[in-house]
Structure 1
Amino acid sequence: MRSGGAEPQGQGLAVIDVGGIESGNATALADVAARVDAACATTGFFVAVGHGVDRTLTTAALTAAGDLFGSGAAVKDGLRLDCPPGVQRGYYGLGAEAQALAAAPTPGPARTAGPAGPAHLAVPSDPGDPAPEPPDLSETFAIGPEPPVDAGPFTAGNIWPRHLPHFQRTWIAYRRAMELFAHRLLRVGGLVLRDDPYAFDALVTRPIGTTRANHYPALATRPETGRRRGGAHTDYGTLTILAVDGHPGLEVKVGTTWVPVTCPPNGLVVNVGDLLAVLSGARWRSAWHRVAVPAGEPPYPARTSIAHFQFPNHDAVIDGVDPAGQPVSITAGAYLTTKLAQLGRVAPRATTGHHRNEVTA
């Protein structure tokens, strides 16, 4: 399928009305596919509007996340879980991770891996971030599939904040809306990259990706040079869909320039992950991005976002070409485990299991 033009917003990201995906009109679908192809090939990012996700639901999910992060430290610490390698669930506090560490080159040239083995891809390019080591100035809360899918060693339940009576239902509904939208977009990818909208369906019958809230607390002073709210990194899976609260900070590397991302209230930020870039034969980009402290003088307001990470079945074999132009065959779960091990997560203490999996409100 030939690429068409995305809708550039100055030096920023294309804003694409994706309503044509569900229109039943072949011409409208082809137009959306061409615009998505152009955006994913140039920046690896775009802003989706006309996506059909209820803005009220997105706002409710962001509000619920804000309520959680506004809870006391003891309450949030009670939402920690010990998780197996490659699994993210529950609450992680300030300094629990450094995103830039997962972007660092890994030793060894391994390009093929089984479900339990190491798995590495070539780093797409130098992110140009001068200080990759400091922990991120963020705290996070993550859920996985609900109910849990059979994902072998990646099978895990969720933990829910019982002191927030509407949180669980809101977040389950939001995750399901994100799963449906991500699947529609992946079918656009199949149409563009394989001339078959169903080409990638078999890879996501038991997806293991998380839905994760990121909270960047307010800052009274500017942090030391090089420290960021979120270090430069690429995402690991197929697609990421991000809802934002309107506060600035997200930046995407376009060429040699870090470009601030702006998103209208009804928009969702979409980006390509490492594994979809591989499946595309390096036609699509898994782009560097980060969360910077805003320009200007402090104080800086808090910022909250929710990222839905579409990630294939743990045992899916991803065949294609890496950013260095080398053929690669990699198992999705092994790649995720490798990246999260690099991330530098602090292992949280176990929490009693009575919080798991019950619908409480």
Structure 2
Amino acid sequence: MTEEAPREQQLYVHYHDGGVPGRRRVLTGKAAKQTFTALPRIDMRRLFSDELEDRQELAREVGAACRDVGFFYAVNHGVPEEALGDTFDAVRRFFELEESVKMECHNQKSQKFRGYEAFLEGKLDPSTRGDLKEGFLMGEDATDPEQNRPVTPLTVEPRNQWPSSPEASFFRPAIYAYYNHMLSFSKRMLRIFALALDKPEHHFDAISTTPMTNIRAVHYPPQQSDADIGIGAHTDFCWFTLVCQSHTAVPALEVLNHNGIWVPVYPESNSFVVNIGDFLKLVTGGTWQSTVHRVRNMGGEERYSMPFFFSPNEDGRVSVLEQFRKEGETYEEIVVGEYFQKRLDVDRTTHIEGEGDGQTKRRAYI
């Protein structure tokens, strides 16, 4: 029997899981569990095969990664490398614009927190001065003609904000080009997830006809201090996330394994980092991992990231799938949009100083 360290000597990692603060003990030596130390790489070419057996084989690999890690690299995903490069160029150009141009669509003007988020305004880790990043969030919006979505009483109001300055005219078309690629890939991935859960490929289609989707372009400057964090430790509140990250010599994205050890996610050219979100953890009764992750950009380089978040329809209802239910337990249905908004309210809490006069006061990030 392994002796535990005295409680005052035990180390813990703190994070947000499902919007609720949590912690995980750091396990070393004889106390350590068998867990992952790197992310698996999965060849996605079978995603486009006409043979069901090929797609089922892919689904088995995906399912194992979702159970054991909650993260994996998707390689040979079919999105042109040139398209990814063009999007990164546009994202860099946007974040280099004058602050006044970006602040025109500040996310505090939007109920859905769409638009521009400035440095230190998010704060997932309360022990820090704020998340050392700036970002731009867009998502499903029936009033954006690029999305060709039906306008309903639920979707009649505009949700996205876009800069109107001519200097930023390149940004919206570039983001939508990326959006269309990622949406197409995500719909195929959803069917692989269904197969991985021993369901027909189209099992989730009915609740994903008008899915909730987001792109969050993010710029992380080099951190000057270990006390800073690019974004605090958290889980994602979606079905799944596809992350395209710029190349840096020192990896900035880190995922938390079962021993409380941070595992670096090295940038790989023309690959997506795929991770499971809270909804897929929910419907699998916790069998699939919505893995805690964070960003610490300590390599002295500018870093850019373009996560794409995919979730069911806003009015969709999800619950634990039958094969994961335990006898005698009661399982509630969750309305996707309601849960999403609650998590958004928690994770996008800002720490802006002095808004009473309508003028947002800003703090320097260096």
The question of 1:210 aligning with 2:214 is answered yes
Output the CA distance in 2 between the equivalents of 1:45 and 1:326: 29
Matched residue, 1:294 = 298
Instruction: Give the counterpart letter for 2:135 in structure 1.
Output: T
Q: What's the TM-score once normalised by structure 1's chain length?
A: 0.77
Show CA shifts across 1:152-201 (max 9, x none): 55653433344134322221111011011111111111112142111111
Unaligned runs of 5+ in 1: 1-9, 102-130, 351-361
Matched residue, 2:11 = none
Output the CA distance in 1 between the equivalents of 2:331 and 2:258: 24
Task: Give how far 1:243 is off.
Answer: 0.5
The question of 1:345 aligning with 2:350 is answered yes
Show CA shifts across 1:271-306 (max 9, x none): 1100111122322111000001326xxxx2111100
Pairing 1:280-291 to 2, within 5 Å after superposition: 280-291=284-295
Matched residue, 2:320 = 320
Output the CA distance in 1 between the equivalents of 2:325 and 2:120: 30
Instruction: Give the counterpart letter for 1:260 in structure 2.
Output: P
Task: Give how far 1:241 is off.
Answer: 0.4
Output the CA distance in 2 between the equivalents of 1:329 and 1:53: 35
What is the DSSP-based 3-state SS (H/G/I as helix, E as strand, rest coil) of the residue aligned with 1:210? strand
Output the CA distance in 2 between the equivalents of 1:208 and 1:140: 19
The question of 1:186 aligning with 2:190 is answered yes
RMSD, aligned α-carbons: 2.6
What is the DSSP-based 3-state SS (H/G/I as helix, E as strand, rest coil) of the residue aligned with 1:24? coil
Paired residues, what number? 303
Instruction: Give the counterpart letter for 1:92 in structure 2.
Output: E
Output the CA distance in 2 between the equivalents of 1:51 and 1:230: 27
Instruction: Give the counterpart letter for 1:244 in structure 2.
Output: Q
**For the structure 1 residues 326 and 66, does the alpha-carbon distance in structure 2 shift closer, same or farther, using more than 3 Å as the test?**
farther
1:144 to 139, 151, 173: 139
Which one has more relative contact order, counting CA pairs under 8 Å at least 6 apart?
1
Output the CA distance in 2 between the equivalents of 1:81 and 1:294: 27
1:30 to 56, 75, 86: 56
1:65 to 91, 97, 103: 91
Show CA shifts across 1:104-158 (max 9, x none): xxxxxxxxxxxxxxxxxxxxxxxxxxx4x54110111011134364475565343
Output the CA distance in 2 between the equivalents of 1:152 and 1:273: 28
Task: Give how far 1:81 is off.
Answer: 4.7
Instruction: Give the counterpart letter for 2:186 in structure 1.
Output: A
What is the DSSP-based 3-state SS (H/G/I as helix, E as strand, rest coil) of the residue aligned with 1:46? strand
Instruction: Give the counterpart letter for 1:222 in structure 2.
Output: S
**For the structure 1 residues 217 and 250, does the alpha-carbon distance in structure 2 shift closer, same or farther, using more than 3 Å as the test?**
same
Show CA shifts across 1:47-84 (max 9, x none): 00111111111111111111111111111112225555
Show CA shifts across 1:282-340 (max 9, x none): 22111000001326xxxx21111001010221111111179999734211111111111
The question of 1:175 aligning with 2:179 is answered yes
Matched residue, 1:303 = 303
Q: What's the TM-score once normalised by structure 2's chain length?
A: 0.76
1:275 to 279, 285, 288: 279
Task: Give how far 1:100 is off.
Answer: 4.3
Output the CA distance in 1 between the equivalents of 2:184 and 2:125: 30
Pairing 1:227-246 to 2, within 5 Å after superposition: 227-246=228-247
Task: Give how far 1:23 is off.
Answer: 1.2
Output the CA distance in 2 between the equivalents of 1:17 and 1:310: 20
Which is greater in Rg?
Answer: 2
- Asked whether the 8 Å contact 1:204–1:311 carries over to 2, the reply is yes
Indicate the percent of aligned positions where both proteins have the same amino acid. 30
The question of 1:96 aligning with 2:116 is answered no
Unaligned runs of 5+ in 2: 1-35, 360-366
What is the DSSP-based 3-state SS (H/G/I as helix, E as strand, rest coil) of the residue aligned with 1:327? coil
